[in-house]
Amino acid sequence: MNKKNLIAFIMIFLVSILFISFISAISVSNCCERLKNDGAWCQNALAGECTTGVNPFTQANYKKVPTSCESTSYCKLGTCVNSLQGTCMPNTPQVVCNKEGGVWKGAKIEDLPECQLGCCLMGNQVAFVTQTECKKLTSEAGLIINYRGDIKTELECIASATSDEIGACVFEKDYQKTCLMISQTECNKIKAVTNTAEQKTVEFHKGYLCSASQLETNCGPRGGTSCIDEQVYFMDTCGNAANIYDSSKLNDNNYWTSIQEPSCDDENGNKNSQTCGACDYFSGSICKSYDRTVNVKPTYGNSLCVSLDCTYNGQKYLHGETWCADNSKTGLKGKNLPGSRYFRMMCYNGEVSVEPCSEFKNEICIENEVNSFSAASCVVNRWQDCMNQSLKEDCEDVYARDCKWIKGYSLLKDTKGNDLGKDENNVSGSCVPKYSPGFDFWLGEGYGPELCNMGSSVCAVEYEVGFIFGSRKKLEQKDWDEKISKCVANCYCIPGYKDGAAKNKYENNKPDSDPVSYDAWINRMNSVCTSLGDCGNKNNYLGFTGDVKDVFTSEFIKKP
C-alpha cells in the first residue's frame, strides 16, 4: 500500500468513526435494572456491570436482559405520577416509579391531563402547579381553590398575582380609634369577631391611608420607613405601610392621606437614592436596611433601594448580566488551548457567581450585548462532524455545526489521494472545529491521537536530478538551497523555499492554491492540525510549552 492510499485509508476509518458516533450506536448490550454497588437504576451497560441478587423492594432478583432498556417492561421510560402530591416526573422507569409508590404511566407528560400545569392563586401568592397540587396547597392554607388552567407559563402566572385592594380599616380598640391597612375582606373579618357594640365602629375606607387626618385615628404620619415587597415604604405611627418613600413628600399631608404613586421614580430602580424608595428588582435594586459601612444614609428613615449591580475585576456589571470568561492566561484567552475551559459569569443580587461550561471545551460560552447589557450562555460545541464536511458551504452552516473552513489543504482525500474538500471555486480546503476540543490524553478515551493524526500530511516534492551528472543520492546530500533549484512540483514544502526561488518549471505552473512560502505552508498545516483539538505544537492554558516535536521530516525516494 503506497502512502497516498494509506492516508486515504486512515481518513476513511476516522470519518467512519465520527459517523458511527453520531448515530450513537453505543456498544452496550444489557439493560441492567440496577448497576453494581448500589448504582443507578435502569442503565444500558455491559452484563458484568449489572447488579445481581435480590431487589429488596420487589423481593425478586434484579433483572438483566440483553437488550436496550426501552425494550424492557421494567425499565421502560414513562411518566411517574404522584397522586398524593399532584406532581409528575417524565423519563422515569417503571420500576423506579413503583418503588417510590408512584403511579407509572406509559404516556408522555404532555399527554396526561393530570400533569398539566396551571396557575394556583392563593391570596396574593401564586404557584405554577398541577390542579391536584393546587388543591393540596390551598387546603393547607385554609383557602378556597382558585386554579387557572388557562395560564400556561410560569411568568404569566407570577404576573397574575394580585392582592385585594387595600384601604384603611378603622376600628376601636382599648377605647381608642385605631387603624390597619388591610383589604376589605380582612376588615370584614375583624368586624365579624368584635362584639355587637363595637361592630358599628369598624369602617373600611378604600384607598385611604391610616394616617389620613380626617379618619381621626391614633395613627399619624412619619413613623419611619420599612421594606415591604422589595420597596421602601413610609410607615405611619401605628406601624402600617403608607405610600412609597419619597422624601420630598415627608410633610405633604395629601401624600399621607390616600394611596398614590411616588413622583420621585427615576425608572432605573433608584439605586442608592437617599430620597426615593421606588426600588425595582429587574432594574437592579431592592429595599434593604441602611448599613453605614456600605450605603449612603437616606434623607429620612433607615431603609433604601440598594444596588444589586456588581464589580468584577474592576469592571461594573448590571444585576442580571452574564458574560463569558475562560481560564486561559490573559492574552491567551479564547485560543482554546489545552486545559482551558469556558466559564459563564453571572451578576445577581450584587454577587458574582461562576458557572463552568463543560470540560474539554465540549461547551463554549457565547456572549451577546444589547444596549450595553451583556447576556451569555454555555452552549454545546458542535465540532464532532466538522472533519466530515467536504463542502465549504456545509462546513460553515452555523445552524448545524461550529466549524470553520481553512483554505488550501484538504483533510479529506479519495483513495487516489485527490482532494475531496472544495469550496465554491473548487479550491481545496478543510473543515475543522471553530473551537478546538480537548482530549483526555491521560485516560486515552475519545480517539484523541487518531483525531490529531488527521492533521498529519505528506508532501511529495518532485525534483529533476538529470540523467548524466545528477543522481538522487547526490541531491539528498545537498543543502536545501540547491535542492530548491532542482524542484519542479510542491516546492513550498522545502525549508527556505520562497516565491520565485524555484526553478521556472514550477514557478510558471504553480497552482494559485499553493502556499507562497515554506512558512506559509507550515502555518497552514499547523492551523489545520491545531484546530482539530489538543494537537500539534501549542502552549497550554497557562502559557507553558509542552514537548516540542519536529514538524518536518523528509525522505528521498525515487518517483514511483
Residue list 112-151, contact with another protein (CB under 8 A): 137, 140-141
User: In terms of CB distance, is 35 or 460 closer to another protein?
Assistant: 35
Cα 191 from Cα 185, distance rounded (Å): 10
Question: Which residue number, 440 or 476, has a Cβ lying nearer to another protein?
Answer: 440
From 30, 231, 322, 328, residue interacting with another protein (rule: CB under 8 A): 322
**Phi, psi for 456 (deg, rounded to 5):** -75, 140
Q: Which three three-digit cell numbers place residue 509?
A: 505552473
Rounded Cα–Cα distance for residues 120 and 138 (Å):
8
One-letter identity of residue 131? Q
Q: Which of 221, 421, 533, 536 binds another protein (CB under 8 A)?
A: 533
Of positions 445, 479, 547, 550, contacts another protein by CB under 8 A? 445
Among the listed residues 65, 74, 102, 225, the single contact to another protein using CB under 8 A: 102
Task: Report in angstroms how near the CB of residue 60 gets to another protein at its nearest.
Answer: 19
Residues 73-92 that bind another protein (CB under 8 A): 77, 80, 82, 84-85, 87, 89-92
Using CB under 8 A as the binding rule, whether residue 93 contacts another protein is answered as yes
Exposed, middle or buried by CB within 10 Å (0-12, 13-18, 19+), for 170?
A: buried
Nearest distance in Å: CB 523, another protein: 25
Selected range binding another protein among 50-58, 152-160, 202-210, 250-258, rule: CB under 8 A: 152-160
- Of 411 and 493, nearer to another protein (C-beta) is 411
d(CA 159, CA 211): 30
Which of 555, 453, 533 shows the shortest CA–CA distance to 9? 453
18-57: contacts with another protein (CB under 8 A): 18, 20-21, 24-28, 35, 38-45
Evaluate whether 30 touches 64 at the Cβ level (below 8 Å): yes
CB of residue 440 to another protein, shortest distance in Å? 4
| Residue 82 vs 527, nearer CB to another protein | 82
Long-range CB pairs of 44-53, under 8 A, 24+ apart, other chains included? 44/68, 44/69
Residue 304 and residue 296: Cα distance in Å, rounded? 9
- Tell me which residues in 379-408 interact with another protein (CB under 8 A): 380, 384
Q: Does 358 bind another protein (CB under 8 A)?
A: yes
- Is residue 301 involved in binding another protein (CB under 8 A)? no
DSSP letters for 204-220: EEETB-TT-GGG--S--
Chain positions 329 to 348 lying near another protein, rule: CB under 8 A, are 346, 348
DSSP tag of 276: B
Among 138, 363, 492, 506, which residue sits at the site for another protein (rule: CB under 8 A)?
Answer: 363
Among 164, 165, 216, 230, binds another protein (CB under 8 A): 230
Burial zone of 484 (CB within 10 Å; 0-12 exposed, 13-18 middle, 19+ buried): buried
Q: Which is nearer to another protein, 334 or 446 (CB)?
A: 446
Nearer to another protein, 446 or 470 (CB): 446
Three-state DSSP string of 430-452: EEEECCCCCCECCCCECCHHHHH
Residue of 276, 262, 341 whose CA lies nearest to 306? 276
Q: Give how many residues touch another protein by CB under 8 A.
A: 76
